[in-house]
Structure 1
Amino acid sequence: MFARRAGLLRVQQPFIKPNALRPFSTTELGSGVKIAYDFFEPAKEATAKDAPIVFIHGLFGSKRNNGSMSKVFARELNRPVYAIDLRNHGDSSHDPRHDYTALAEDVEGFLEKQNIKDSTLIGHSMGAKTAMAVALRKKTPISNLISVDNAPVDAALHSGFAKYVKGMKKIEEAGFKKQSEADAVLKEYEESMPVRQFLLTNLMRGPDGVMKWRIPIKYLSDALNNMADFPFNNPDEARWEGPALFVRGTKSHYVADEMLPTVGRFFPRFELADVDCGHWVISEKPEDFRKAVVEFLQDKE
């Protein structure tokens, strides 16, 4: 059912020569939604077996969060990497509909428009459930699935997300002209500076000098319950037989031990990588995450 990997040791990350990075581009889908993305070229010319990786961020994140790791994967795995912005995030379109079916349709549309076949989908949190939904829908063939700290279950979001929305709304209404003022308000809702810095990457200065959110807070606030759900509830009716890696933070509740049988029913070939951290696996333990992904994908070549 699954292979439990030994604890991963953190080591100093080696110097990585920067990859070629185009300024972000956009792809307009048939639905009218525009998906923004960064493209990272591999060091050598990719062959047919070097299928692209599509990297999908979590709630309140963006393609920028995955830029450094995308460079690493492009170099070490010699694969093209697309780091995308989901709808209502980063530089992609805003739309009142925000649920996993819509997000999966966007990713499928992006793969089709870019003529990407047999890709590896890597998703964190909201991006993980989106990637799982793409695999289970079977509308677009993918080769590998990597889910980072989420499971194919209906489960309540961490209470912090609702608090973040309250703080972000308060900032939106205040009309601040300094990011430090916004951070002071956000500190009332989140003590962790790295988490606040992550949220504040969504703040931008408008033409009038006032700080504004680049993401639609109302749409995402209304969608919080959708983000706790999962669009499939019967593994007998929806199952994906391809190779899957589930990377979980052992201090996070999103992939608890009691969820693993359900993971195995939906994804019978899954492997498990435990990382000693919380929910923000990629930023908390980047080397452990890198090692788990590279080892998994190299095994599949």
Structure 2
Amino acid sequence: MSHTRAWQGSRQRKRTLSITRSLFLFPAWKKRQSTVTDDIIFSPVSLSYDVFDGRSTGTPLVFLHGLFGCKSNFQSIGKKLVQQTGRKVLTIDARNHGNSAHSSVMTYEAMCSDLQKLMSQLHIQKCVLIGHSMGGKVAMTTALLQPDLVERLVVVDISPSKTFTQTNFPTYITAMKAVKTDSNIPRSTAKRQAEDQLKSFVKDHSVRQFLLTNLIEENGLYIWRVNLDAITKNLDNLLGFPEFDTSYSGPTLFLGGGNSPYICSEDFPEIQQLFPYSDIQYIEGASHWVHADKPHDFINSIRTFLCSP
């Protein structure tokens, strides 16, 4: 389980820090010039989602996955949280991922509009928003632009900072684009061929398996269901984060992996500025994929946060 100590801030309630290492246009959004060059008017797209109904009338939990992920990443976590909390759980495929619609536009503002549209369609007035990596940035953007939709916020192993230096995602994209498989073959054979080609770029077996969940068959051909062209075009936006002149005043938990570099001490001032009522915790022994590495600790952290003031 995670081990933490407290740090007091003048405007904040308690923060916890690890002892192990130290068509939507929104007026609150300001462009970060290094990542956005043009004003883009965009329309929300339709999102694929799964719902796990609970017996409680409590605010539903909404999970947002990371880059190259999909809604099934949180399926087992979601089911357990339904059992343990009684709350409804919603897991969502982001645009250009899973079974959701594709678009050439892939900014955090656009993904926020997608979520807003879906919540309206499902008559969800407020949720507990839980986002991992890219999904964490979508969750932060939504909380800052549409705070009335977000009762509580959980940001998993990402911060409101640029992530250019820590990420291997450009390498993953290059590797995935280079994959060629035979046609009209069993999926197991295609998956084996693809993995053999990924090995020279992606050394970590678990990461290769994660990427291969996106390999699908279509008319005898094997393709990537993620929109690699859109991700490549928008990668600078995805690795960055918009600038805001506002803050989110709801309870917020930043939950990092103890072995991950994605939430570091240099990020704390920006977290404090944008999310003044936040706790920062680390789960020891977890990598960037916190929920996959330590699901029991992850669930316990979420449950504890849901019960906190």
Q: TM-score, normalised by structure 2?
A: 0.83
> Does structure 2 retain, via aligned residues, the 8 Å contact 1:35–1:92?
yes
| Distance in 1, Cα, partners of 2:165 & 2:123 | 34
One-letter amino acid of the structure 1 residue matched with residue 125 of structure 2: K
2:49 corresponds to 1:37? yes
Choose the corresponding residue for 1:55, options 51, 60, 63: 63
Asked if 1:224 is matched to 2:235, the reply is: yes
Give the equivalent residue in structure 1 for 2:201. Answer: 189
Query: Aligned to 1:35, what secondary structure does the other structure show?
Result: coil
d(CA) in 1 for partners of 2:300, 2:19: 11
Mark the runs of 5 or more structure 2 residues left unpaired by the alignment.
1-11, 21-41
Distance in 2 (alpha carbons) for counterparts of 1:271 and 1:263: 10
Shift of 1:6: 6.7
1:129 equivalent in alignment to 2:137: yes
Match of residue 245, structure 1, among 243, 246, 253? 253
CA distance in 2, matches of 1:6, 1:183: 36
Please list the CA deviations of residues 61-100 of structure 1 after superposition, one character each: whole Å capped at 9, or x if unmatched. 0001110001011111111011000100000000000011
Cα deviations by residue, 1:155-210 (Å, 9 ceiling, x for unpaired): 31634111110111011x555641100000111111111111111000011222x2
1 CA distance for matches of 2:19 and 2:139?
25
CA distance in 2, matches of 1:143, 1:86: 21
Q: Secondary structure at the match of 1:4?
A: strand
Which residue number in structure 1 is paired with residue 127 of structure 2? 119
In the other structure, the counterpart of 2:33 is none
Structure 1 portions without partners, runs of 5+:
9-29
- Give 1:293's aligned residue: 302
For the aligned residue pairs, the C-alpha RMSD in angstroms reads 1.9
TM-score by length of 1: 0.85
Contact (CA 8 Å) 1:157, 1:228: kept in 2 or not? Answer: no
Q: How does 1:96-111 map to 2 (within 5 A)?
A: 96-111=104-119
Q: Given residue 271 of structure 1, which amino acid in structure 2 is its aligned partner?
A: D
Task: Report if the CA contact (8 A) 1:108-1:139 is conserved.
Answer: no
> Displacement of 1:225 after TM fit?
0.7
Deviation at 1:154, TM superposition (A): 2.6
Q: Which amino acid counterpart does residue 220 of structure 1 have in structure 2?
A: I
Aligned residues: 270
Letter in 2 for 1:187: K
Amino acid at match of 1:286: P
Paired with 1:142 and 1:53, the residues of 2 have a C-alpha distance of: 10
Equivalent residues of 2:50, 2:91 under 8 A apart: yes
Matched with 2:217 is 205
